[in-house]
Amino acid sequence: MGSQPQPPLCSSTTKTSSEMDGAQIYLVTGGCGFIGEKITELLSQQDYIKEVRVFDSVARKEVEKVATGTENVLKACCALNIPYVVYTSSIAAVGPNVLHEPMLRGNEDTKYSGEVELPYGKTKAMAERLVLEANGKKLSNGGKLTTCIIRANTVYGEKATFLHDLYLSAKAQNGVLNYLEPEHTERNSTYVGNVAWMHVLAARHLQLRPDALAGQVYYSYDDTPTTKGFLIRYQLLSCMDSTIRLGSRIPYWKMWLMIHLHRIIEIILSPFWKPRPFLNFPLLNTIVTTFSYETDKAFRHFGYKPLYSWQESKLRTARWLRAAVGSLSPQ
């Protein structure tokens, strides 16, 4: 890279970097989050990086007063001559749609249309459009912005609060783990360390091979089995506590009634008490719809291979969960 100062490299909602005297400086926006914290950890271990900086509303209260959305990050990149952006998105930006049409073992080129079901997915889809439209935009110094996107599906691992809550719920039901998905459904799950590693590699190769990665979208993946989501959750929890047993499926109609009942209770009690958040229909419909992919695009474009095996991912998750809930079960 040489010894002359270089323009900074940026990656939105997950990382940013700049190059000074041959050593890079990365900024991780949302770096205190579930995935962002792991990205920060892995970046700090790379010998080509001089410094890792974190920007997050959790870290500093002043940030809460500043709009830190994707559009503003992209504008800042153009104004400050930060030429590279890797954006963290989600499979929810693609689907399922409101018609609950499935996608089985698709890939980044699979055609899938229709209005996205989840509100979260709609915001991610909007952000993706901004990131892709920004690819090739001119910087204030005459250079150009280069962007790519990484889409995750269900991410598990250390600090995955949904696993902590799920374990406590199962223990409250005598160790029985019930589930909502029909037997035929299929979804992808990926360990947080591998999602973070894909970001680290993408950010590096966005500099080394910008023509190959520019404007591209990559699904995150590892060797976690692509199967029914409840089986993955069961394997993760039972790895930590062998007393956890797989229960039975909760019928759709029963959950449908429970959601309606919760809404009625919420309306009646709203002047006096706000009930805990509960499952909603868009999320329920997403859970019961097959949406899976199969790809090696990240390997082909920038040599990505999972940093952690499925077995190691399970053990790491189990160690964290055991520490999080205390020694409630035998090893």
Range with lowest mean pLDDT among 6-15, 113-122, 184-193, 278-287:
6-15
Q: Examine residue 162 and state whether it is found in any structural domain, yes or no.
A: yes
Structure-model confidence comparison of residues 307 and 270, the more confident one: 307
Encoded tokens for 318: 């189990």
Q: Examine residue 105 and state whether it is found in any structural domain, yes or no.
A: yes
Distance of alpha carbon 121 from alpha carbon 96, whole angstroms: 9
Q: Examine residue 269 and state whether it is found in any structural domain, yes or no.
A: no
Mean pLDDT to the nearest integer, 34-62: 81
Mean pLDDT to the nearest integer, 155-171: 94
By DSSP bridging, strand 146-152 and strand 176-179 are: unpaired
What's the pLDDT band for 61 if we cut at 50, 70, 90? Answer: low
Strand runs labelled E in the chain: 6-11, 15-20, 23-29, 49-55, 84-90, 103-106, 146-152, 154-156, 176-179, 189-191, 217-219, 245-249, 291-293
CATH of the domain at 311: 3.40.50.720
Cβ contact 8:81 at 8 Å: yes
Please give the pLDDT value at position 69. Answer: 81
pLDDT at 16 over 60: no
Please give the pLDDT value at position 22. Answer: 57
When divided into structural domains, the chain yields a total of: 1
Q: Examine residue 95 and state whether it is found in any structural domain, yes or no.
A: yes
Mean pLDDT to the nearest integer, 145-158: 95
HEC secondary structure over 8-21: EEEECCCEEEEEEC
Per-residue pLDDT reduced to its tens digit, 226-263? 888 999 999 999 999 999 999 999 999 999 999 999 98
- Closest C-alpha among 86, 87, 117, 90 to residue 102: 117
What's the pLDDT band for 67 if we cut at 50, 70, 90? Answer: low
Q: For CA atoms 267, 269, 274, 279, give the dihedral sign.
A: negative
pLDDT at 140 over 50: yes
Q: Examine residue 166 and state whether it is found in any structural domain, yes or no.
A: yes
Question: Looking at the annotation, which residues are catalytic?
Answer: 120
Mean pLDDT to the nearest integer, 98-119: 95
What secondary structure letter does DSSP report for 46? -
Range of the domain at 109: 6-249+281-323
Please report, as a single letter, which amino acid is at residue 53: R
What's the pLDDT band for 52 if we cut at 50, 70, 90? Answer: confident
Q: Examine residue 255 and state whether it is found in any structural domain, yes or no.
A: no
Distance of alpha carbon 134 from alpha carbon 76, whole angstroms: 12
**Is residue 96 reached through a cis peptide bond, with omega within 30 degrees of 0 on the bond before it?**
yes
HEC secondary structure over 232-277: HHHHHHHHHCCCCEEEEECCHHHHHHHHHHHHHHHHHHCCCCCCCC
Encoded tokens for 329: 């079960």
Which residues in 87-116 are b (16+ Cβ under 10 Å) and which e? Answer: bbbbbbbbbbbeeeeebeebeeeeeeeeeb
Burial of 254 (0-12, 13-18, 19+ CB in 10 A): exposed
pLDDT at 65 over 90: no
| Percent of the chain clearing pLDDT 70 (strictly above) | 89
**pTM (2 d.p.):** 0.87
Please give the pLDDT value at position 23. Answer: 65
Per-residue pLDDT reduced to its tens digit, 282-309? 999 999 999 999 999 999 999 999 999 9
Q: Examine residue 193 and state whether it is found in any structural domain, yes or no.
A: yes
Please give the pLDDT value at position 330. Answer: 43
Q: Examine residue 150 and state whether it is found in any structural domain, yes or no.
A: yes
